[in-house]
Structure 1
């Protein structure tokens, strides 16, 4: 049975990357002409196809819970694998990410990340990277939509505890926007590494909004206090034991 699931997973991954290349190349001239709106449509269409094909190929269903934020907000999400990126983007009407600067040079991904308004950050630069990020969010080019940040700064495997970085708090203080936390259990089914994609129900859950105006350090504590228990609950629901 596990051999069959591996085979189904490999087939899913192959079609996922083939479609990524085909869509990226074919639609790129239209995205250049149509601008951000067209690029968003391409990325959301691709993300939604991945959700459908996951169910067909590997038996992994996906679900978005809670109220999907619209308008100008910060979305601070748990990050366990590439799947949470796809689920978030499939749901949000104008999503964009705080992302590693090196990804701008990645074929296809980098092209569309730039077009949809993602904000690149060179994390190796430390404090300078923070200043650059905060300057970028004031740039009109990056205005509008739902800005997604992963407050732990990287993918964190289920059950692993990792520090919440102050960058999310600095962003919250600078932008003076509401922040919508998001919990996830997707790493149980689509892990950080490896080929196996497992059947089940992968969930992203949008949690109650944190309104602007809170002290950044208090905000960070509140963010963690909401995301971690909610993610643990989703993982317990999926069958993971504490």
Structure 2
């Protein structure tokens, strides 16, 4: 388990709805410093928050942040992009770009910070997945989340020998600017981040942060027709 009291936390994608809440609640739980990273970092008006520029698709940018934030003990891999791009209709360059941000970006950040966390006692890596890791939406976004889920499972095994806790967090629609255009029920980001940090501090390997994630994961043992009713109708 990882205690956030006196921790040094780095959050990627800190300007977003979830990222902002990860920063806020880390401080609330006693973190002494939070590195709030984004492509265009903003001023947080809090001396405990250190804004850093980070492009997760740029190896030089990642290396610079790893050097600047060498006291990090908890890494929250939250940065990502949303897209409804069809796997068949979207140009491959568009699909590749989404994988660069949502899959290879978090992996590159994890590679850069694994030795940092180990040097600081092990600490923790938190990867933000989605209920769509387990339920294809017929688009590239769900494919990226499925890939990141698999990567996190591998990282968990590799980092166990370095005493690094790896948490995979799953969630459904959450009320953030990224989902503002969707007319669907959404969870409050306050509740989602609280559940994830609770799981981190309890020593969990995986957090199902809402009912949607619980429901989708429980359906994996059933038939494909139950998970995808459109198959039965076709």
TM range (shorter): 0.3 to 0.5
The structure whose residues are more often helix, as a share, is: 1
What TM-score results when the alignment is normalised by the length of structure 2? 0.43
What TM-score results when the alignment is normalised by the length of structure 1? 0.42
Of the two structures, which has the highest relative contact order with CA contacts closer than 8 Å and spacing of 6 or more? 1
